[in-house]
Chains A and B, each alone.
Chain A
């Protein structure tokens, strides 16, 4: 590997402290929600996902690297992905708007238990490999008892060729965290980036329970002290086994072996049993990009890519953000925090939050409750998670220590807790590090009580992975 050069401007300081005028600019730009938005005109939820190709930025593989350092690498990495389109848009309109513009990772999808989800997936084809006629599918991984037609496996049902779409129907019955991905030539399409988180919120949000858990804010009770529940736990919110939470974050883990990505752009084959990761990502970003907040346009500059990875201007001359989902976990002291962890990489991982005890309450969308209601949840600092597995994890944010780092964007002080992959040999970005770190690393920032506003489900910005660039 010829990676002796440290990329321009890639320092942790840039993301944590911004530059002088960063706070003002960022606050003007505003926040942005990471969750896919249902079509507002319809109920139940209807979504449009667009399958295409494009590029995304990794440390050492940014637009700036390609422009200033052609020796270092080939610029942004090639990939496939899903992005969200207008539910009622025509295929030609979606093609014009989305072709060659992937989102990494795919939009977060949230749905309520016993509700219904309609996802129309449109394949607009590849911008950069027009010789390929790959079809795509959506596989809801872990969906119980689907019919084969909606399970998204091309060899045992159907796949969707370019310039066609298909209406998937999902009526989820049981709460928990799941994932979705393309199953067409899946070793390639999943590695290339067609993966996302889908989760099901429990009925208890809407009904509360007789044991002392009120209807949650997510269930429509605007004044509720509880944002939501991870599962239908059936206990009072004061009970140690309650799954009530105040903030929720999805963390999709995967890895990138850059060779198949580069080979595809170079019209070359890859031997898939050669797979060996070089990047380890959370929500499609490597540290320190994981810390860039949603809507922090200054920080996001590092992630912008052109349509053309050689640095030439694309069709409309614009640079766009393809990796919009922050992994920064901003909370107030005492907050009950839900982490929805999903592994769609090909390697087993071990995620460690060394300074805050975590309680695993769900595995593979199964509430850890045994016969007779026995509590099978467990407390740990390290979450071991295999490919295709999911974990629902709760922690209570520790007290603010009284002195903390000032947050340049919000102005408020905070304490930082590192959430990292304990397979520490992965803590680099294809051989590069930033301040000695890289890979699957993010941080939990704990602010003094009352610093961050409570999550308001009626606010369109207040979805999962809510971050704050201003208060």
Chain B
């Protein structure tokens, strides 16, 4: 619904007026874009194998101008509150030690490591799932050997319906011991190490968080999600870079940037096979769903090659054979609550459109006859990768070098929202740069 007329009503008194929030949609996108185009967000590892975590409380901001009270783990050595909790990175075979202190929360807490076996504990007090600590001084230690490479969650094992929702979750990445440029031991999982991304999903009912903040009771059966986050941020904040000063409590971006992969034989048309070589290796994208719902996650731009689920390679029948990966392509992957997937992605320039050699076979109308949503865009003005062209004077573009952008979002479109404001929520962008990247 796009109207020049402002006849909207605010659905709740504590919310700002809806008209204002509608305008915020464009403003948030513009603010996220800033003066220049977004830059890629590499996985921000805290390297192990020993980690010192402590609980913390704070607020995150949402693109519609609200804030949400959260709990999380932070690195103990004086580091700031952050959502999500640190990304723990180790190498296969290492003995991983996590020391947890809980002085911030009003109740005991703990950490469980789904997918890890033989987790031992030292200290703390017995809890339902594992040893717990706090509130107050003291440390509980969890220790295990990271036997299998892959992407895993870690999360609270105490009152999880409340504590996981509140933000006590994070990701553990186990690199294969054989090589750091593979997702798994299998050589078919080679990826471009400059293009490794984490998309960690979470969903938020702000009224539950408000009740916890105020010490009120809440009805868990009434949980109704209003915000959805990737790496602790809702779109369009997801496309801001890591450690952006606008989001001090949400340090991790989620923009996925790749270089185009050209055809092996230029001009091969429909017979295009992607060029090989180190530079054309795919990006590695790690999905993890820490939310309490399943989310159908859909990239525009190209199919994903799904190589692993829950930290295990998708082995072929019998688990043997070369190549061993029974990877499947998909244009949507529904990620179950608590699941992880590892995916390889490339954008192949198979149409090879070029402004002189191979023009698009239609006459593009004058751009002033078309609409640029809210007059804020990342479009280059040109259909050709690596080229920019003039846009209507009122349109503000943040395109760097003719790169292309595609949304990457939940196809439960009610989640592609910040409360009631569209083009937000569970989404990020996929940025495709010309060969060699933007200068």
Contact = CB atoms under 8 A, between A and B. Distances in A.
Given A264-B1, A346-B412, A364-B331, A161 B353 contact: no
Given A114-B270, A188-B422, A159 B347 contact: no
B296 A160 contact: no
B351 A145 contact: yes
B160 interface: no
Interface in A426-447: none
B46 interface: no
Contacts of B377: 155-157
A169 interface: yes
Interface in B335-378: 347-351, 353, 360-365, 367, 369-374, 376-378
A128 to B, nearest CB: 12
B422 A141 contact: no
A417 B317 CA distance: 33
A324 B177 CA distance: 58
Number of chain A interface residues as a range: 35 or more
Contact of A374 (B322, B326, B406): B326
B303 A387 contact: no
A280 B147 CA distance: 46
A178 B298 CA distance: 13
If over half of B's interface residues share one DSSP class (helix, strand or loop), that class is named, otherwise mixed; here it is loop
Contacts of A264: 1
B1 A271 contact: no
Given A149-B383, A275-B414, A164 B11 contact: no
Given A364-B332, A374-B317, A153 B420 contact: no
B373 A155 contact: yes
Counting chain B CB atoms within 10 Å of each CB, which of A131, A153, A187 scores highest?
A187
Contacts of B29: 155
A169 B362 contact: yes
B192 interface: no
B195 interface: no
B425 to A, nearest CB: 8
Contacts of A386: 294, 296, 332, 334, 411
Given A186-B422, A269-B18, A387-B332, A346 B316 contact: no
Interface string B186-221: 000000000000000000000000000000000000
A363 B8 CA distance: 41
B378 A156 contact: yes
Contacts of B351: 145-147, 171
A363 B294 contact: no
Interface in A132-186: 132-135, 139, 141-142, 144-151, 153-161, 164-169, 171, 173, 178, 184-186
Nearest to B385: A147
Interface stretch (A25-33, A243-251, A365-373): A365-373
A365 B332 CA distance: 11
B353 A365 contact: no
B321 interface: yes
If over half of A's interface residues share one DSSP class (helix, strand or loop), that class is named, otherwise mixed; here it is loop
Nearest to A277: B414
Contact of A371 (B326, B348, B422): B326
B296 A387 contact: yes
Interface in B1-59: 1-5, 7-9, 11, 18, 29
Contacts of B270: 114, 171, 173
A197 interface: no
Contacts of B415: 273, 346
B103 to A, nearest CB: 35
B379 interface: yes
Nearest to B303: A144
Interface residues of B, number: 79
Given A166-B365, A167-B362, A269-B9, A151 B371 contact: no
Contacts of A388: 296, 298, 331-332, 411
Given A148-B404, A348-B296, A364 B329 contact: yes
B329 A133 contact: no
Nearest to A376: B326
A132 B303 contact: no
B283 interface: no
A346 B413 contact: yes
A168 B322 CA distance: 41
A268 interface: yes
A370 B317 contact: yes
Contacts of A376: 317, 326, 328
Contacts of A348: 294, 296, 334
B330 interface: yes
A374 B316 contact: yes
B405 interface: yes
Contact of A184 (B5, B363, B373): B373
Contacts of A198: none
A164 B300 contact: no
B356 to A, nearest CB: 16
Contact of A142 (B4, B303, B379): B303
A118 interface: yes
Contacts of B412: 346-347, 387
Given A145-B350, A374-B316, A133 B429 contact: no
A10 B38 CA distance: 55
Nearest to B274: A145
B339 to A, nearest CB: 12
Contacts of A139: 300
A146 B383 CA distance: 10
B224 interface: yes
Given A269-B8, A273-B224, A275-B414, A363 B328 contact: yes
Contacts of B385: 147
Given A273-B414, A389-B334, A164 B365 contact: yes
14 contacts: A118-B361, A129-B1, A133-B4, A147-B383, A149-B383, A156-B378, A269-B1, A271-B11, A273-B224, A273-B415, A275-B414, A372-B316, A387-B296, A389-B411
Given A131-B5, A164-B370, A387-B410, 11 more contacts: A133-B3, A135-B373, A142-B332, A147-B385, A153-B407, A157-B377, A159-B370, A167-B362, A184-B373, A271-B419, A387-B411
Interface of B: 1-5, 7-9, 11, 18, 29, 224-226, 270, 294, 296, 298, 300-303, 316-317, 321-326, 328-332, 334, 347-351, 353, 360-365, 367, 369-374, 376-379, 383-385, 404-407, 410-417, 419-420, 422-423, 429
The 9 A-B residue pairs with the shortest CB-CB distance, nearest first, are A388-B411, A386-B334, A142-B331, A386-B296, A275-B414, A167-B362, A388-B332, A149-B383, A156-B405
